[in-house]
Structure 1
Amino acid sequence: MRGSRLPTCATLLHASLSKSGLLTDGPPLGPQLTTYGTDRCLPRKDDTLSALALSLRQSCDTSSPHTPSNTRIGVVTAQFGDPEPHYAKALQTHHLHSMIHSTELHVMCSPMIDDLWNKPAFILALLLDEMLKPESKRLEWIFWVDRDTIILDQCRPISSFLPPVPKDDPGMKTEIKTHMIVTKDFNGLNNGIFAMRVGHWSINLLMDILAFRDYKPDVQLIFTEQSAMELVMKEAKFAPHVQYVPQEWFNAYPHGSAEEYETREDEEGLERFHVRRGDFLVHFAGVGERGREMLEWVRVARRVGNVWEGGRVLRDLKREIEGFWERLKVERGRVAD
C-alpha cells in the first residue's frame, strides 16, 4: 500500500506544481537565479554584484587552494513572505557565489504545503523536474541551504565537499555510492545544509519523509520534518548511502561577534563547530536577535572579501576533506572484501 501510494502522491504533487506555475522559471533577475512563485522575497537588484563576482573570481583563481569543478550543482533555498533585510542580504551572498562558480540558484518564494514540510516538498518537485531532462543536462547534486546562512568563503566551490569519482570506476558500479551528505550538532541531525545526489534514491527518500507523519502519526517529531528525515535515513534501504561529515565543513555556527571573526588571530576558546576565517559559511541556527547579527556578519563578510588573498586563514579544511573521502574509500573496500 505504501509503495503504490507514495509515487502517486509525488506524481500528483509534481502535476499540481506545474499547473500552478510553481515549476516555471521566474524573471531573469540575475545570472543562474530562478524563482518559484512570487519574486517578492528577493533582495533589490544590486548592480555591483556582477562586477564583484568577476573581481572575486579572478582573485580566487590566483590565491585560493580550491579547484574549480564542472559538476552540475543546484543550490536550493526558500524565502517566504515580504523580504526581511537580513534574509535578503544573506541570500545575496549565495547569489554572488552562484555567479562566481556558475552554479544554479533555485529560490522558493511561495509555500506549497504547511510549515517546514515545504523543504522536502520543494526539493522533491525540483528532483522530479530534473529527472525529465536528459542525464547529460540534468543537475548532478542539489545543495540545500536554510535562509539563515551566509557564505563567508566565496572562493570555495560546493563540489569540494562531494565524494570524488573513483578514477578506476567512473560509473561507480562497485562502490557503495554516497547519495546524501549531512551533518549533526548537539541535537542530532541538522538539515539546515546538506547535499543530495540527483536520482531515484533521493526521490524515494523525500517521498518517505513527506509521508512519514501520515503513516506513523504516533511518532513524536520534535523537529518536524528534520526529525522525520533523521528517522527515515536510518532505515536499511537508505542508511548505507547517507554520509555524516564533520559539522565544520559547511554548517559552522557563530561564536562571538562578526568583528571577532574578522580580527581574531588564534583559535583559543573555539570549538570545532565554531566558525572561523577559512570556513565556507556560517549558520545562525537558534541565534537570538538574528536580524541584527546577520546584517553585521554580511557587512563583515563583504569587507573581508577573499579570505585567502591576505593569508589570514585560521582553518583550511582542504586536506581534511580529501583525507576523509580517501579513508572512507579504504574502509568500504575492506567491507566489500
Structure 2
Amino acid sequence: MTGFRTRRAQCFQLKSAVQVAGVLMGLVWLLNLFAKYPNAKNNQPLPTVGKVMMIYGGNNTLYERAIETHQEHSRRLGYPLFILQREILDGVWNKYAILLSVLLQELAKPSDQRLQWLFWFDSDTVVMNPHMKLETFLPPVEADHVHLLLTKDWNGMNNGVFPIRVHPWSVQLLSAALAYPVVKPEVFLFWPDQSALANVLNENEHFARSVVYCPLRWFNAYMRSPDGESLNPDSPAELQFHPGDLLVHFPGTPRDHLAETLGPYLAIAEAHRAEWEPTAENTGYPEETVNFWRKQSSMPSNVDSTHWRGEN
C-alpha cells in the first residue's frame, strides 16, 4: 500500500508539472512582447546575444529611466531587447514566463538564425557602461556544457541578472522553476522565484552541473556610496560597482526609496562621463574572464561544484 501511495504521489506531481507546462505553453505565445531588433544590414552578422526585461503597471518613471539605459546599451552594441509590458502571471513569476517565451521563439528558428544567449536584467538595474560587451562574460566555445551563469551575495544565489543559453536545457530548467510552487506547495519560498530556482538546482544534478557561479561584479554589481562617487567602506568592495563595470543593481530597494537610491546613479549614467564608459578592451575584464574560464576548465570533473563555482 505504501508503494502504491508513493507511486500515486509521484504521478500526481508529474501530472501537476505537465499541467503547468501545458498552461505555460499556451500562455507564453500570448505574451505581449516589445522587442527591438537592430536593423540588420547585409554586411553585419546576426546578433547572438539578446536582453530580456519586464516593466508594467503605473508610476514607473524611475524604472523607465533605468530601462532607457538598457535601450542605449542595446542600440550601441546591437542587442535585441525584449520587454514584457503586461502582467501575465503573479508578480515575479513573469520573469520566467517571458524568458521561456523568448527561448521558444528562438529555438523555433533555424539554428544559424537563433540568438545563442539571453541576458535577464531586473528593472532595478542601471547600465553604467554602454560600451561593455555582454559577450565578454560568456564561456568559451569549448564550454558548451555550461548553460547558465549566476552570482552569489551574502544571502546566496541572486537571480537579478544572469545569462542563460538558448537551449532545450534552459526551457526545462525554467519550466521546473515555474512549476515548483505547484509541484511542491509545502515548501516555503522566501524569495519566491529566486528560491524556487535555487531549490531546483540544489535538488537536481542534471541542472546543477551546467551552472557556473561568476564574480558578482561582472554583470550584477551592487551600489557603492549613495552618491555613486566612492566605495562604501561598510560593504565588501568586490560586490560593489566600480567605474567601467557594466551596471549597478539595487536588489530589495523599497519603491518609496527608489528616487534617492537609483537617482544619483541614473544621473551619472545619463551624463555619459568618459571615465565611466571605457570600452571592454580598456578594462581588465577580457583578461580576467579568460583566466576565470581557464581555471574552470582545469577543475576535475569529480569536484563538488558547489565548492568551487565562482571562486577566484
Please report the TM-score for the alignment, with normalisation by the length of structure 1: 0.75
**Shift of the alpha carbon at 1:236?**
1.2
More displaced stretch, 269-278 vs 239-248: 269-278
Q: How does 1:108-123 map to 2 (within 5 A)?
A: 108-123=84-99
**Residues 114, 310 of structure 1: CA spacing in aligned structure 2 closer, same or farther, 3 A cutoff?**
closer
2:112 to 125, 132, 136: 136
**Shift of the alpha carbon at 1:16?**
3.5
More displaced stretch, 218-227 vs 292-301: 292-301
Give 1:274's aligned amino acid. Q
Q: How does 1:75-90 map to 2 (within 5 A)?
A: 75-90=51-66
Conservation of the 8 A alpha-carbon contact between 2:221 and 2:241: yes
**Residues 117, 126 of structure 1: CA spacing in aligned structure 2 closer, same or farther, 3 A cutoff?**
same
> Is there any run of 5+ residues in structure 1 with no aligned partner, and where?
34-68, 167-174
Q: 1:154 & 1:224 partners in 2: Cα distance?
A: 31
RMSD, aligned CA: 3.1
**Shift of the alpha carbon at 1:322?**
1.3
2:252 to 267, 286, 297: 286
**Residues 183, 73 of structure 1: CA spacing in aligned structure 2 closer, same or farther, 3 A cutoff?**
same
Conservation of the 8 A alpha-carbon contact between 2:52 and 2:120: yes
**Residues 322, 82 of structure 1: CA spacing in aligned structure 2 closer, same or farther, 3 A cutoff?**
same
Q: Secondary structure at the match of 1:217?
A: coil
Partner residue in 2 for 1:301: 269
- Give a deviation string over 1:66-122, Cα, whole Å, max 9, x none: xxx976111101101125221111000000011111111000110111111111122
Give 1:239's aligned amino acid. A
Identity percentage of aligned residues: 31
2:189 to 206, 214, 221: 221
**Shift of the alpha carbon at 1:159?**
0.8
**Residues 31, 94 of structure 1: CA spacing in aligned structure 2 closer, same or farther, 3 A cutoff?**
same
Q: 1:299 & 1:315 partners in 2: Cα distance?
A: 22
Conservation of the 8 A alpha-carbon contact between 2:28 and 2:98: no
**Shift of the alpha carbon at 1:214?**
1.3
Partner residue in 1 for 2:149: 181
Q: 1:204 & 1:4 partners in 2: Cα distance?
A: 16
**Shift of the alpha carbon at 1:164?**
1.1
Partner residue in 2 for 1:316: 284
Give 1:14's aligned amino acid. M
Conservation of the 8 A alpha-carbon contact between 2:244 and 2:278: no
Aligned residues: 284
Q: 2:87 & 2:21 partners in 1: Cα distance?
A: 17
Q: Secondary structure at the match of 1:272?
A: helix
Q: Secondary structure at the match of 1:9?
A: helix
Q: Secondary structure at the match of 1:212?
A: helix
1:237 aligns with 2:206: yes
Give 2:25's aligned amino acid. H
Q: How does 1:1-337 map to 2 (within 5 A)?
A: 1=11, 2=13, 6=17, 9-18=20-29, 20=30, 22=31, 26=34, 32=38, 72-166=48-142, 177-234=145-202, 235-261=204-230, 271-287=237-253, 289-307=257-275, 316-332=284-300
Give 2:293's aligned amino acid. W
Q: 1:231 & 1:334 partners in 2: Cα distance?
A: 22
Q: 2:37 & 2:115 partners in 1: Cα distance?
A: 17
Conservation of the 8 A alpha-carbon contact between 1:278 and 1:316: no
Conservation of the 8 A alpha-carbon contact between 2:52 and 2:83: yes
Q: 1:116 & 1:268 partners in 2: Cα distance?
A: 30
Structure showing the higher helix proportion among its residues = 2
**Shift of the alpha carbon at 1:326?**
0.8
Q: 1:89 & 1:320 partners in 2: Cα distance?
A: 31
Give 2:193's aligned amino acid. E
Conservation of the 8 A alpha-carbon contact between 2:118 and 2:166: yes
Q: 2:27 & 2:186 partners in 1: Cα distance?
A: 29
> Is there any run of 5+ residues in structure 2 with no aligned partner, and where?
1-10, 40-44, 304-312
Q: 1:314 & 1:285 partners in 2: Cα distance?
A: 28
Please report the TM-score for the alignment, with normalisation by the length of structure 2: 0.81
- Give a deviation string over 1:304-337, Cα, whole Å, max 9, x none: 43436789x99733322110001111225797xx
Q: 2:182 & 2:292 partners in 1: Cα distance?
A: 38
Q: 1:334 & 1:16 partners in 2: Cα distance?
A: 40
